[in-house]
A and B are shown apart, each in its own frame.
Chain A
Amino acid sequence: MRENIFTSFTTRLMVSFLFMLSLYLLLRGHNYPGGGFIGGLVGASGVVSLYISRAASNGAVTRNSPRIRPGSNFWGYLMFIGITMVLLSGMWGLLFGNAYLDAWWYTSIIPGIGKIGTPFFFDVGVYLTVVAVIISITRVLANVKNPDDIYEETGE
Chain B
Amino acid sequence: MFNWLLIFGPMLTAGTLAFLPAHKRFLQLTTLIPLALFAGLLAHAGDIADGKTFRTTYQWVDALGLELSLVLDGLSFLFALIITGIGTLIVFYTNSYFQKDDETHRFLIYLFIFMSAMLGIVLSGNFLGMFIFWELTTISSYLLIGFKHDYSVARIGARQALIVTGGGGLALLGGIAMVGVMSGGVYDFAALDAMAGELADHALFEAALILIIIGAFTKSAQFPFHFWLPGAMEAPTPASSFLHSATMVKAGVYLLARLAHTFGGGDIWLYALGSIGLFTFVYGAFMALSAYDLKAILAHTTLSWLGVLIALIGINTKDSLKAAMVGILAHALYKGALFLVVGAIDYETGTRDIRKLGRLAGAMPVTAVASALVLLSMAGVPPMLGFVAKETLKVASLEHVPDAFAAVFPVAAVVGSALTVAAATMIGLEIFLRKPQHGEDLYAHEAPLPMWFGPLILGGLSLILALFLHQFLDPIINPALSAVYSDPAEVELYLLPALDDLAFQLSLLSIAIGVVIGVTNRPLRDSLQNKSLLDPTHVYNKIFGIGDDKVDVRSLLGQGYRFVNRRLQDGILRHYLNYVFFTFVLIMIAVIIQVWGKLKLPSFELDEITLLETFIAVIIMISAVATTFARRRLGAVVWAGAAGVNIALLFALFGAPDLAFTQLLIEVLTLIFLMLAFRLLPRFMQDTSRFTTFRTMRDGVIAVMVGLVFGLLALLASSNREAPPIRYWFEENAYELGQGHNIVNVILVDFRGLDTLGETTVLVIAALGVLALISPMPLLDMLDKHFKERVRQQLEAEAALEKDSSIISHIYENINRVLLAGDDFRGDDNA
**CB-based contact B767/A133 at 8 Å:** yes
**CB-based contact B742/A83 at 8 Å:** no
**CB-based contact B784/A45 at 8 Å:** no
**CB-based contact B820/A33 at 8 Å:** no
**CB-based contact B658/A142 at 8 Å:** no
Contacts of B753 in A (CB 8 A): 90, 101, 103, 119, 122
Stretch from B25-33, B202-210, B675-683, B695-703 that touches the partner: B675-683
A7 vs B699: C-alpha distance when bound (angstroms)? 42
**Taking CB as reference atom, which chain A residue is nearest B780?**
A144
Question: With A41-B669, A133-B767 known to touch, is A147 a contact of B658 (CB < 8 Å)?
Answer: no
Contacts of A154 in B (CB 8 A): 788, 791-792, 795
A 113-154 contacts with B by CB, 8 A: 115, 117, 119-120, 122-123, 125-126, 129-130, 132-134, 136-138, 140-147, 150, 153-154
**CB-based contact B813/A35 at 8 Å:** no
**CB-based contact B766/A133 at 8 Å:** yes
A120 vs B749: C-alpha distance when bound (angstroms)? 8
Contacts of B657 in A (CB 8 A): 33
A139 vs B776: C-alpha distance when bound (angstroms)? 10
Number of chain A residues close to chain B: CB under 8 A: 58
**CB-based contact A126/B669 at 8 Å:** no
Contacts of A30 in B (CB 8 A): 739-742, 745-746, 749
A140 vs B787: C-alpha distance when bound (angstroms)? 20
B 650-668 contacts with A by CB, 8 A: 657-658, 661-662, 665-666, 668
Contacts of A142 in B (CB 8 A): 676
Cβ of B382 within 8 Å of any chain A Cβ, yes or no, is: no
**Taking CB as reference atom, which chain B residue is nearest A137?**
B770
Question: With A115-B739, A129-B763 known to touch, is A52 a contact of B672 (CB < 8 Å)?
Answer: yes
Cβ of A66 within 8 Å of any chain B Cβ, yes or no, is: no
Contacts of A51 in B (CB 8 A): 672, 676
Contacts of A82 in B (CB 8 A): 760, 764
**CB-based contact B748/A35 at 8 Å:** yes
Chain B, residues 227-242, CB within 8 Å of chain A (1/0): the string is: 0000000000000000
The minimal Cβ–Cβ distance linking B637 to chain A, given in whole angstroms, is 14
Cβ of A56 within 8 Å of any chain B Cβ, yes or no, is: no
**CB-based contact B760/A125 at 8 Å:** yes
A147 vs B818: C-alpha distance when bound (angstroms)? 13
**CB-based contact B669/A83 at 8 Å:** no
**CB-based contact B666/A150 at 8 Å:** no
**CB-based contact B665/A140 at 8 Å:** no
Contacts of A32 in B (CB 8 A): 741-742
A130 is contacted by which of B679, B763, B771 (Cβ under 8 Å)? B763
A120 vs B748: C-alpha distance when bound (angstroms)? 11
A83 vs B766: C-alpha distance when bound (angstroms)? 13
The minimal Cβ–Cβ distance linking B475 to chain A, given in whole angstroms, is 51
**CB-based contact B749/A79 at 8 Å:** no
**Taking CB as reference atom, which chain A residue is nearest B815?**
A147
A 37-81 contacts with B by CB, 8 A: 37-38, 41-42, 44-45, 48, 51-52, 70, 76, 79
**CB-based contact B750/A41 at 8 Å:** no
Contacts of A150 in B (CB 8 A): 784, 787-788
Contacts of A42 in B (CB 8 A): 665
Looking at chain B's contact residues, the main secondary structure is helix
The minimal Cβ–Cβ distance linking A144 to chain B, given in whole angstroms, is 5
Question: With A38-B661, A145-B776 known to touch, is A137 a contact of B745 (CB < 8 Å)?
Answer: no
**CB-based contact A123/B749 at 8 Å:** yes
A70 is contacted by which of B748, B776, B784, B820 (Cβ under 8 Å)? B776
**CB-based contact A134/B780 at 8 Å:** no
Contacts of B738 in A (CB 8 A): 103, 119
**CB-based contact A45/B757 at 8 Å:** no
A144 vs B83: C-alpha distance when bound (angstroms)? 60
**CB-based contact B775/A38 at 8 Å:** no
Chain B, residues 753-771, CB within 8 Å of chain A (1/0): the string is: 1101100110110110011
Cβ of B812 within 8 Å of any chain A Cβ, yes or no, is: yes
Most chain-B CB neighbours within 10 Å: which of A37, A136, A138?
A: A37
Cβ of B744 within 8 Å of any chain A Cβ, yes or no, is: yes
**CB-based contact B680/A146 at 8 Å:** yes
**CB-based contact A141/B673 at 8 Å:** yes
Contacts of A35 in B (CB 8 A): 658, 742, 744-745, 748-749
**Taking CB as reference atom, which chain B residue is nearest A129?**
B760
Contacts of B754 in A (CB 8 A): 100-101
**CB-based contact A140/B775 at 8 Å:** yes
**CB-based contact B672/A48 at 8 Å:** yes
**CB-based contact B665/A41 at 8 Å:** yes
Cβ of A6 within 8 Å of any chain B Cβ, yes or no, is: no
Cβ of A31 within 8 Å of any chain B Cβ, yes or no, is: yes
**CB-based contact B764/A133 at 8 Å:** yes
A105 vs B735: C-alpha distance when bound (angstroms)? 12
Contacts of B181 in A (CB 8 A): none
Question: With A45-B669, A101-B757 known to touch, is A123 a contact of B788 (CB < 8 Å)?
Answer: no
Question: With A52-B672, A115-B739, A123-B745 known to touch, is A136 a contact of B771 (CB < 8 Å)?
Answer: yes
**CB-based contact A31/B741 at 8 Å:** yes
**CB-based contact B756/A122 at 8 Å:** yes
**CB-based contact B740/A31 at 8 Å:** yes
Contacts of B737 in A (CB 8 A): 103
The minimal Cβ–Cβ distance linking B460 to chain A, given in whole angstroms, is 59
The minimal Cβ–Cβ distance linking B680 to chain A, given in whole angstroms, is 5
Cβ of B816 within 8 Å of any chain A Cβ, yes or no, is: yes
Contacts of B676 in A (CB 8 A): 51, 138, 141-142
Cβ of B774 within 8 Å of any chain A Cβ, yes or no, is: yes
Question: With A35-B744, A37-B748, A123-B745 known to touch, is A144 a contact of B661 (CB < 8 Å)?
Answer: no
The minimal Cβ–Cβ distance linking A41 to chain B, given in whole angstroms, is 4
Question: With A31-B741, A41-B665, A45-B668 known to touch, is A141 a contact of B677 (CB < 8 Å)?
Answer: yes
A38 vs B661: C-alpha distance when bound (angstroms)? 7
A36 vs B665: C-alpha distance when bound (angstroms)? 13
**Taking CB as reference atom, which chain A residue is nearest B817?**
A147
Contacts of A155 in B (CB 8 A): 795
Cβ of A14 within 8 Å of any chain B Cβ, yes or no, is: no
**CB-based contact B749/A134 at 8 Å:** no
**CB-based contact A156/B816 at 8 Å:** no
B812 is contacted by which of A79, A115, A147 (Cβ under 8 Å)? A147
3 smallest CB-CB distances across A and B, nearest first, come from: A30-B740, A141-B676, A41-B665
Identify the A interface with B (CB < 8 A): 29-38, 41-42, 44-45, 48, 51-52, 70, 76, 79, 82-83, 86-87, 90, 100-101, 103, 105, 115, 117, 119-120, 122-123, 125-126, 129-130, 132-134, 136-138, 140-147, 150, 153-156
Further contacts, 8 of them, CB under 8 A, given A34-B661, A35-B745: A30-B740, A34-B745, A35-B658, A41-B669, A76-B771, A115-B739, A136-B771, A137-B767
A-B contact pairs, 5 of them (CB 8 A): A52-B672, A83-B761, A101-B757, A134-B669, A156-B791
Identify the B interface with A (CB < 8 A): 657-658, 661-662, 665-666, 668-669, 672-673, 676-677, 679-680, 737-742, 744-746, 748-750, 753-754, 756-757, 760-761, 763-764, 766-767, 770-771, 774-776, 780, 784, 787-788, 791-792, 795, 812-813, 816, 820
